[in-house]
Amino acid sequence: MSHSTDLRSLTLAGIVRRCTHETERFFQRRSYDPWFCFELFRRAILERDSHAWERVYAQYHALVTGWVVRHQAFPASGEEAQFFVNRAFEKMWAALVPEKFGHFPNLQSLLRYLQMCVHSTILDQVRSANQSILDVRVEDLVTGGGEAGPIAEGSVADRVHRREFWEQIEARLNDEKERRVVYGSFVLGLKPRQLLASYPEAFDDVKEIYRIKENVLARLRRDRELEEILGPDA
Amino acid sequence: MTCTSPPQLADQELLAHLDGEASPEVEAHLVSCPHCRERAQHLARLQARLAARLYRATCPSPLELGEYHLGILAPAQKLAMDQHLATCLHCSHELEQLEAYVSALAPDIAFSPLERIKVLVARLVRSPEDHSRSGARAPAPAYAGLRGESESLLLYQVDDIQIAVEFQDDAERQGRLALLGLVTGADTSGMEAHLWQPEQHIAAIPVDELGNFYVSNLAPGSYELVLRGPKVEVQIPELEIVGG
């Protein structure tokens, strides 16, 4: 292991040169010194050295591209690998503030975080696509129902954060059973049979779940404040 | 508009219809009653709007899940995540996906000592001086048969591996030398011979299946010879190349 003070005295170009050499040795399964590459990350993240971060990107973007391509959700994403590669590096740069660097004692831990950023970036896209499906369903139902005019939620929705909206709904629920029905049905997207399977001790049968749902929805539909948020069907 | 077959269906029956769980009687009522069908559509739109706003509203971001997996969340955040994962099958599934994904990629960031290439440093066991004293013959590179037995043979050894090296004048380049080598006692398939001088890579030559390798156009001087195979690397740190 190279002494930390010696590494810090090297130029960025020298660090990059040795990092490249040692990385090549790693992939040849030879003994290698990981501390040059670690120093490159250290300068980038701890010292917020953007030039060092550019070199991190150059050093690892081919490896990260391979990680993107090997993710099970990538083929169906419809995006180019480079899109996720760039987002993964952006995510790591934004998330790894200097205060967090102490969690990373070696190069392996930093590269594992970068792997996690790849997964996280692809998952962001998957979640966004799933949300779009729900949004399209609303549009389809409104259009098919022949409702005139734009959906009222368009302008009001921007003010209400999703979690805050849940808290508003939760505040209108009377007991734990109602909370489980609404949370399970709309936050988790479960059908009543799935809900019963998840909480067999909480409900007698599927009919009870439908009865609770009927009562809650009737209450929410009478709520003027929610009607403004959700639109005319509330 | 009123129900064509009173009493009208209850909302819970309409909800069951929307989930595909209604009884045949309810389905039959809806076929013939526009009023109850419209009520069902209202409920469908309400549920769709709620779902669009609430779906996974309390779920952490994939990044937070990832930091939880890596064990770098603050204690309070970790506790909140533990509680959330106890009830959220979506986040539990994503966490399982992450664990499987990084496990599959683990060889890209670390390898075990068993996978590491064994690096050996060979020592000189026989020089031309030793040869002239003892008169014994060492294994000679196959190419040397062109010129006959050489008295400039150097023999290096580590474990069971022997490397015989000799030098000749380069027939095509005056003042330059050629190196002939023979590796025995090791699997030479996929092996390459690398010649280095300080800070400079001079040559990389494949070692044939019999263990022979040949490098020409060399200047006299000090070199490092590294024989790199799939499972072993043999280093000769100081190889003095002199005229044959």
B65–A217 C-beta distance less than 8 A:
no
Q: Collapsing DSSP states into helix, strand and coil, what is residue A96? A: coil
Cβ contacts from A onto B, under 8 A: 173
Task: Determine the distance in angstroms separating the CA of A50 from the nearest CA of chain B, rounded to an integer.
Answer: 22
From chain B residues 212-231, the ones with a CB under 8 A of any chain A CB are: 228
DSSP, residue by residue, B9-28: PPHHHHHHHHTT---HHHHH
pLDDT for residue B146: 36
Tell me how far apart the alpha carbons of residues B77 and B71 are, in angstroms, rounded to a whole number: 11
* Residue B12 clears pLDDT 80, i.e. is over it: yes
Q: Which domains does chain B have, with CATH numbers?
A: 11-54 (no CATH), 62-108 (no CATH), 118-241 (2.60.40)
* Residue B147 clears pLDDT 80, i.e. is over it: no
Nearest C-alpha in B relative to A198: B87
Q: Which residues of B touch A210 (CB under 8 A)?
A: 12, 15-16
| Contact status of B161 with chain A (Cβ, < 8 Å) | no
What backbone phi and psi angles, to 5 degrees, belong to B90? -65, -45
B54–A169 C-beta distance less than 8 A:
yes
Tell me how far apart the alpha carbons of residues B153 and B139 are, in angstroms, rounded to a whole number: 9
Cis before B7 (ω within 30): yes
Q: Which residues of B touch A66 (CB under 8 A)?
A: 108
A165–B53 C-beta distance less than 8 A:
yes
| Cβ neighbours of residue B240 closer than 8 Å, sequence gap 6 or more | B221, B222, B223
Q: What is the mean pLDDT of residues B140-165?
A: 71
Q: Which residues of A touch B115 (CB under 8 A)?
A: 29
Task: Determine the distance in angstroms separating the CA of A119 from the nearest CA of chain B, rounded to an integer.
Answer: 7
What backbone phi and psi angles, to 5 degrees, belong to B103? -65, -40
What is the ipTM score, two decimals?
0.87
pLDDT grade for B142, boundaries at 50, 70 and 90: low
pLDDT grade for B201, boundaries at 50, 70 and 90: confident
B54 vs A138, A166, A210: nearest CB: A166
Nearest C-alpha in B relative to A141: B45
Taking Cα atoms as reference points, which of B132, B137, B135 lies closest to residue B148?
B137
Q: What is the mean pLDDT of residues B178-203?
A: 88
pLDDT for residue B135: 52
| Residue of higher predicted confidence among A156 and B190 | B190
B52–A135 C-beta distance less than 8 A:
yes
Mean residue pLDDT of chain A comes to 87
pLDDT for residue A231: 72
From chain B residues 79-98, the ones with a CB under 8 A of any chain A CB are: 87-90, 94, 97-98
For chain A, which residues make up each domain, given as ranges? Answer: 4-128, 153-230
pLDDT for residue B107: 86
Unique residue bearing structure tokens 């019999």: B210
* Residue A157 clears pLDDT 90, i.e. is over it: no
A116 vs B12, B98, B116: nearest CB: B98
pLDDT for residue B56: 92
Asked if residue B18 lies in contact with residue A130, where contact means CB atoms within 8 angstroms, the answer is: no
Q: Which residues of A touch B63 (CB under 8 A)?
A: 91, 95, 116-117, 120
From chain B residues 19-38, the ones with a CB under 8 A of any chain A CB are: 19, 21
Mean residue pLDDT of chain B comes to 87
Tell me how far apart the alpha carbons of residues A217 and B2 are, in angstroms, rounded to a whole number: 21
* Residue B132 clears pLDDT 80, i.e. is over it: no
A134 vs B51, B89, B116: nearest CB: B51
Nearest C-alpha in A relative to B44: A141
Structure tokens at A2: 């190279």
Task: Count CB-CB contacts under 10 A for residue B187.
Answer: 14
pLDDT for residue B133: 56
Q: Which residues of A touch B41 (CB under 8 A)?
A: 141, 144-145
DSSP-derived secondary structure letter, B240: E
Structure tokens at A103: 């969690």
pLDDT for residue A149: 35
Q: Collapsing DSSP states into helix, strand and coil, what is residue B198? A: coil
Q: What is the mean pLDDT of residues A107-132?
A: 94
Q: pLDDT digits over B13-50, tens only?
A: 999 999 999 999 999 999 999 999 999 999 999 999 99
Provide the residue type at B114 as one letter: L
pLDDT for residue A232: 66
Q: Which residues of A touch B88 (CB under 8 A)?
A: 188
A137–B48 C-beta distance less than 8 A:
yes
End-to-end Cα separation, chain A, in angstroms: 65
Q: What is the mean pLDDT of residues A207-218?
A: 95
Structure tokens at A78: 């419809």
DSSP, residue by residue, B106-173: GGGT---TTTSPEEEE-EEEE-HHHHHHH-PPPP--GGGGGT---S--EEEEETTEEEEEEEEE-TTS
* Residue B130 clears pLDDT 80, i.e. is over it: no
pLDDT grade for B143, boundaries at 50, 70 and 90: very low
Q: pLDDT digits over B44-76, tens only?
A: 999 999 999 999 999 999 999 999 999 999 999
Structure tokens at A94: 């934004």
- C-alpha separations of B62 from A71, A122, A130, A160 in Å: 15, 9, 14, 22
B232-241 and B118-121 beta bridge pairing:
parallel
| Contact status of B53 with chain A (Cβ, < 8 Å) | yes
* Residue B115 clears pLDDT 90, i.e. is over it: no
- C-alpha separations of A10 from A18, A19, A36 in Å: 10, 12, 10
pLDDT grade for A233, boundaries at 50, 70 and 90: low
Tell me how far apart the alpha carbons of residues A34 and A7 are, in angstroms, rounded to a whole number: 12
- C-alpha separations of B54 from A60, A157, B59, B191 in Å: 38, 12, 10, 61
Q: What is the mean pLDDT of residues A31-38?
A: 89
* Residue A145 clears pLDDT 70, i.e. is over it: no
Task: Determine the distance in angstroms separating the CA of B110 from the nearest CA of chain A, rounded to an integer.
Answer: 7
Asked if residue B184 lies in contact with residue B162, where contact means CB atoms within 8 angstroms, the answer is: yes
Asked if residue B224 lies in contact with residue B237, where contact means CB atoms within 8 angstroms, the answer is: yes
For a pLDDT cut of 70, what percent of chain B falls above it? 87
Least confident range from B73-82, B125-134, B211-220: namely B125-134
Q: Which residues of A touch B94 (CB under 8 A)?
A: 123
| Contact status of B114 with chain A (Cβ, < 8 Å) | no
pLDDT for residue A30: 80
Least confident range from A16-20, A222-226, B61-65, B197-201: namely B197-201
Q: What is the mean pLDDT of residues A145-170?
A: 58
* Residue A76 clears pLDDT 50, i.e. is over it: yes
pLDDT for residue B148: 42
| Contact status of B119 with chain A (Cβ, < 8 Å) | yes
* Residue A202 clears pLDDT 80, i.e. is over it: yes
Q: pLDDT digits over A127-138, tens only?
A: 989 888 888 888
B52–A138 C-beta distance less than 8 A:
yes
